[in-house]
Amino acid sequence: MGKVFVVFKREYLERVRSKWFIIATVLGPVFMGLITVMPIVLAARTKSSAQLSNVVIIDATGSDLGARVSQALLSTTPEAPAPRVRVVKAEQVPAEETRATTEVMQRGAVGYLVLDANTLGGKEMRYAGRNATALIDVQSIERMVRQSLLNMRLEREGIDPSRVAMLTAVRLETKTEKISDRGKEAGSGLASLFFGYGIALVLYMMIAIYGQSIMRGVLEEKTTRVAEVVVSSVKPDVLLTGKIIGSGAVAVTQVTAWLGMSFLMYLVRVPILKSFGAAPAMMGGAMKIPTVAPMIGVALFLFFVLGFAFYAALFGAVGAMVSNQEDIQQAATPVMLMLVSSIIFMQPILLNPSSTLAVTMSILPFSAPLMMPLRMALVAVPWYEIVGSLASVTVGCVIAIWLSARIYRVGLLMYGKRPSFRELGRWIRMS
Amino acid sequence: MSEPAVHITGVTKRFDDTVAVRELSLVVPRGSVYGLLGPNGAGKTTTIRMILNIIVPDSGTISVLGRPHLDEAVTNRVGYLPEERGLYKKMQVRRVLRFLAELKGVKPKVADQRINKWLERLELTTAEKDWGNAKIDELSRGMQQKVQFIGTLVHEPDLVILDEPFSGLDPVNSQALKDTIVELKRDGKTVIFSTHLMDNAERLCDSVCIVAHGEKVLDGEVAAVKAARGTRNVALAIDGEVSGAVRHVLADPRLVARMDDQNRYFEIELAPKADPQELLRNVVAAGANVRRFELISPSLHQIFLERVGAKGVEEGMSGHG
């Protein structure tokens, strides 16, 4: 109908033109990008701190272990000062430690490493320094000492040093792949986990943000009394429909813009990451985009549309029920509870996407729009479950809209205290 | 012109236990200015909302411009100014008006032209400042009222319904409103407005309907309503102080049935069979400096007080049995 379009147009244009929308749309991907990039950048930064080799090595092993470790450390951070190796006797260690501590305090070194008979025996070594709490630094030092010790032992067994280097060069990285009923899928298992999580979270965010903005919009129409002028021209149902479609279209616009900008950022990810100082090798597997089959894409969209309509209608009714800002949060609690309860169960469903809980939550109309897409991203959900879930959400949606339209019609012109559930029942019968 | 602008037959509307409108029937002739008069809570707004199909009557029928009032084609030909006024605060004036016009089926281009014309006419667009591009909440109260008024008329409705249009208007805007109502009538439009300001109603309306406690007290053409009351009223104006002796005469129940005392002006309803000449003689004898003594039809105000005063308080309070 033409008038739905008029209401839709106003709702859409006014929201899209608002400063808030523009800021959120532009900053959203930047923010998301930062969240994705920062860990990689941070990981790159802490991989081995630039001063890793700027240490004192107190070598009481009576072997050349200290020198070997020094070599290994220097090779990781060639720009930093080389380690100072002090070969000492076992009883001199405490005095050397005191001296090294002073050096660290005066910033002559980052830390000191004690290698002794225990180290030779493969039991322990000690490290003290400013970066002693930096897990990655300590791990790299430990790895190098272990490697050096191993090399030394092998050479003592008479193996040629060049063969040792070759034999011990084991650089292992794990690449994961997901196997579903359809066979192997592109992208890593971890990626599809993030993908599913991301979809559910975006759906949740959009429903919470735009659903509530409908609620506030309806309340505004009530408090400013525009509602009466508008409903003298269009039926309340038409008004509610137009508002829901309008807000939904704004949400779709925003997500589309986010996706588009994220994709652009993905295309130029290498220079961006480089500018942050990350090694290009790190950007391979972790950032592969999982593929989405067209049918799944359609189903995802349907779940979004239906889920949004379900909650938007209920939020609209809540907005029409109350007459002031103070009451609105309280009145919205039942609706928010339904929405939040779906999110609370996200964790267990992530861990076990085929459990009874997961299946139930992905069929119930109020949680299905969030949980079904999540499960679909994680495992191959049988088609009949998807269809059943869609049917259930559709029915729930029709009921929600029917109820809401009735509450809306009566509530829009009612002012005063918030109605009780009994009064709401009467409103529903009344219209 | 034959079909009435609004035809209400036997309409009743209940809210919970209270009856807002009971068995109301009225006819608003096309091209007339029609006053819906009554005290607060009489059911005026409910009646208007039912005409506009904002609320549905429990029983009875309403036709507007010769069609059932549910018809969308009818909705587009009606303009409405509600008692409680308000617009989207954060929206630009032009966009609000375009929205309201489009809701009534006006094409955006046509709407824009009309809006500009109206903004100029009501001095919202001047050489210095174009308020059309300002947001509603940047406007003063008076300006917002003007915008709302444009919103009521921008689709050039055949029937204009104004709920308490004079409330909250300053004298200048009040006069402008009267001029506009007269102009609408001259263009062949029908105007219905509700008010409890009888002076406005008496001067503006062709026909009136007085309602109290949800029921019609009387209706008809203003001239006929007044003529039916005969010329049993006296307009009496006195210069200078009104002495106790004069007041004593005016309190004489043999001569005066009812009196509206406005300090120096009195509208008096004569007692049955009282002789107005005797009243004049007595007033003069009491030493009053009479400036005006005239036999008149009762004012709407008097009729209203008389009918609603009796019916409204006594029967109304008893809750209609």
- Per residue in A180-233, pLDDT tens? 655 665 544 566 667 777 778 888 888 888 888 899 889 888 888 888 889 888
Domain that holds residue A141: 55-168
Question: What is the model's pLDDT at position A276?
Answer: 61
The lowest-confidence range among A185-194, B177-186, B188-197, B254-263 is A185-194
A34 and A64 assigned to the same domain = no
Contacts of A10 in chain B (CB under 8 A): 95, 99
Per-residue HEC secondary structure of B125-170 comes to ECCCCEHHHCEHHHCCHHHHHHHHHHHHHCCCCCEEEEECCCCCCC
User: What are the tens digits of pLDDT across the range B290-316?
Assistant: 999 998 888 888 888 878 775 544 343
Contacts of A9 in chain B (CB under 8 A): 102
pTM over cut 0.80: no
A230/B103 Cβ within 8 A = yes
Number of domains in chain A: 2
Query: For residue B108, what is the nearest residue in chain A, using CA coordinates?
Result: A6
A415: distance to nearest CA of chain B, Å?
12
* Contact between A81 and A54 (Cβ < 8 Å): yes
- Sign of the Cα torsion B35, B41, B42, B43 reads positive
Give chain B's end-to-end CA distance (angstroms, integer). Answer: 41
pLDDT at B8 over 90: yes
Question: What is the model's pLDDT at position A140?
Answer: 83
A70 and A36 assigned to the same domain = no
Contacts of B76 in chain A (CB under 8 A): 233
Whose CA is closest to B114, among B158, B78, B150? B150
Residue A50 falls inside a structural domain = no
Q: What is residue B235's three-state secondary structure?
A: strand
pLDDT, mean over chain A: 81
Residues of B with CB under 8 A from a CB of A: 16, 49, 52-56, 72, 75-76, 78, 80, 82, 84-91, 95, 99-100, 102-105, 148, 151
A156 and A273 assigned to the same domain = no
Cα separation, A361 vs A358, whole angstroms: 5
B29: distance to nearest CA of chain A, Å?
22
ipTM exceeding cut-off 0.95 for this assembly: no
Which residues of chain A have a pLDDT value below 50? 187-188, 281, 283-286
CA distance readout (Å), A197 to A256, A261, A370, B193: 18, 19, 10, 59
**Among A168, A194, A214, residue at a domain's last position:** A168
Question: What is the model's pLDDT at position B263?
Answer: 83
User: Residues B173, B175, B176, CA angle at the centre, nearest 5°?
Assistant: 60
**Among A168, A203, A236, residue at a domain's last position:** A168
Where do the structural domains in chain B lie, given as residue ranges? 6-222, 231-296
Contacts of B49 in chain A (CB under 8 A): 413
Query: What is the CATH architecture of B231-296?
Result: 2-Layer Sandwich (3.30)
B100/A228 Cβ within 8 A = no
A408 and A287 assigned to the same domain = yes
Residue A95 falls inside a structural domain = yes
A311 and A406 assigned to the same domain = yes
For A6, the closest of B52, B82, B103 (CB atoms) is: B103
Contacts of A19 in chain B (CB under 8 A): none
User: What are the tens digits of pLDDT across the range B101-152?
Assistant: 999 999 999 999 999 999 998 888 888 888 999 999 999 888 898 899 999 9
Question: What is the model's pLDDT at position B320?
Answer: 31
Question: What is the model's pLDDT at position B16?
Answer: 75
Residue A121 falls inside a structural domain = yes
Kindly list the strands in the beta sheet with B256-261, ordered across the sheet, starting from the edge strand earlier in the chain.
Answer: B256-261, B265-270, B233-239, B289-296
Question: What is the model's pLDDT at position B321?
Answer: 27
pLDDT at B228 over 90: no
Residues of A with CB under 8 A from a CB of B: 2-3, 6-7, 9-10, 13-14, 18, 220-221, 223-226, 228-234, 413, 426, 431
pLDDT at B25 over 90: yes
pLDDT at B318 over 50: no
Residue A275 falls inside a structural domain = yes
DSSP state of B92: B
Encode burial over A199-220: b for 16+ CB neighbours within 10 A, e otherwise: bbebbbebbbebbbbbbebbbb
A33 and A139 assigned to the same domain = no
CATH placement of domain B6-222? 3.40.50.300
pLDDT, mean over chain B: 87
A280 and A408 assigned to the same domain = yes
Question: What is the model's pLDDT at position B315?
Answer: 40
Cα separation, A19 vs A132, whole angstroms: 48
A68 and A198 assigned to the same domain = no
Per-residue confidence band for B27, with pLDDT thresholds at 50, 70 and 90: very high
Question: What is the model's pLDDT at position B154?
Answer: 94
| Residue keyed to tokens 């281009």 | B109
A32 and A86 assigned to the same domain = no
Residue A238 falls inside a structural domain = yes
Cα separation, A194 vs B67, whole angstroms: 60
For B88, the closest of A6, A226, A232 (CB atoms) is: A226
User: What are the tens digits of pLDDT across the range B50-96?
Assistant: 999 888 888 999 999 988 877 878 889 999 999 888 899 889 999 99
